[in-house]
Amino acid sequence: MTTLEVRKTYKLYVGGEFVRSESGHYDPALDRRGAPLANVCRGSRKDLRDAVVKARAAQAKWASATPYLRGQVLYRMAEMLEGRLDGMTAMLRKSAGGATPAAARREVRAAIDRIVHYAGWADKYGALLSSVNPVASSYFDFSLPEPTGVVGLVAPEAPALLGVVTHVLPAIVSGNATVVLLSERDPLPALEWAEVLATSDLPGGVVNLISGPKRELVPHLARHMDVNALGLAGLPAEVEREARRDAAVNVKRVAAPAVADYFGEAAQGLDWIRAFVEIKTTWHPVGW
C-alpha cells in the first residue's frame, strides 16, 4: 500500500502566533536537490501591515523592560535554540542551503553564540553610548540611547539561520520590535527558529517573521509610515536603491551593512546596536 506524502506548511510568525497568509497562497520550499520539501505561506501586503501593528503594540512594553530582564530573555532564547540543536542541524542539511553535517552544526552553534553575545550586551551598551556632556553654563547635559521603535529588516539569502539571527538580535536588544522579511530561497531554517521564539520568554510581537517575494514586499515595508527604521541585507542593487528612496517618505533611518563573513567578529558588536538607537539629550539645571 502506498502512502500519501503530506508536506508541512510553515506559517508566518506574527504577534507571537503562527498564522496563515490572508491570501491563502503558499509556495513550495525546495530541498538541496531542488525537490519539494515543504510549503511556505506567501506573505502579502496585508500580512506585512498586520505584522507592523503587532510590532507597534509590543514595542513599548519591551522597551520598558529593564536591560537586565531583556538580557535574561535573550539568554533563554539561546537555551531554547540549543535544545533544538539536532533538529535545526537536520533542517539546515535538508533545506535549499544544503549544508554538510559539519557546516550545519557550525551555523547553529554560531547562531546560539550570537544570541548569547547580545544577551551580554543588554545591560552594557547604554553605558557606552551615553555621556555627560560638558556645557558652558549651569546645566547638566545628558545623552542617552533610546530604541528607534519598529524596525523593518530584510534578512540575507544566506546563511539562512545565522543571517536572520545576526540582523534581528542587535535590533531587539535595545527595545525595538521588528518585522522581518526572510530569505526567499531558503526560508525554512528561520521559520523553524520561529518555534524557538514562540517557546522562549520573548513577548509576542517583538519579532515577526514574514516569508514571501522580496521584490513585492520590500517596497511596502520601506514605505510604511509606522516603520521607523530599515535594515537591508542581500538585496539586488536596484531594489536597495528603491527601498532607500521609499524610506525617505517618513525619514526612516536605513542601515545596510556589508557583511563579508557572517561567522566573523565584524558581524556582531556595539556598532550593530548603535544602528537602531536614537540618542536623546536632556538639559537639566544645576540645583544650588
**9-42 pLDDT, tens per residue?**
999 999 999 999 998 999 999 888 888 899 999 9
- pLDDT tens by residue, 131-170: 877 777 777 777 889 999 999 999 999 999 999 999 999 9
Rounded Cα gap, residues 49 and 53, in angstroms: 6
Global pTM value? 0.93
What pLDDT, on a 0 to 100 scale, did the predictor assign at position 268? 97
Closest CA to 230 of 274, 180, 156: 180
What pLDDT, on a 0 to 100 scale, did the predictor assign at position 285? 79
For each of the domains in the chain, give its residue range(s) and CATH number, in order of start: 9-285 (3.40.605.10)
Mean pLDDT of the chain: 94
- For the cut 60, the answer to whether the pLDDT of residue 288 exceeds it is no
The DSSP line for 15-28 is TTEEE--TT--EEE
- pLDDT tens by residue, 206-264: 999 999 999 999 999 999 999 999 999 999 999 999 999 999 999 999 999 999 999 99
What pLDDT, on a 0 to 100 scale, did the predictor assign at position 111? 98
- For the cut 90, the answer to whether the pLDDT of residue 116 exceeds it is yes
Q: Environment class of residue 119 by beta-carbon count within 10 Å: exposed (0-12), middle (13-18) or buried (19+)?
A: buried
Question: Distance of alpha carbon 256 from its chain centroid, rounded?
Answer: 14
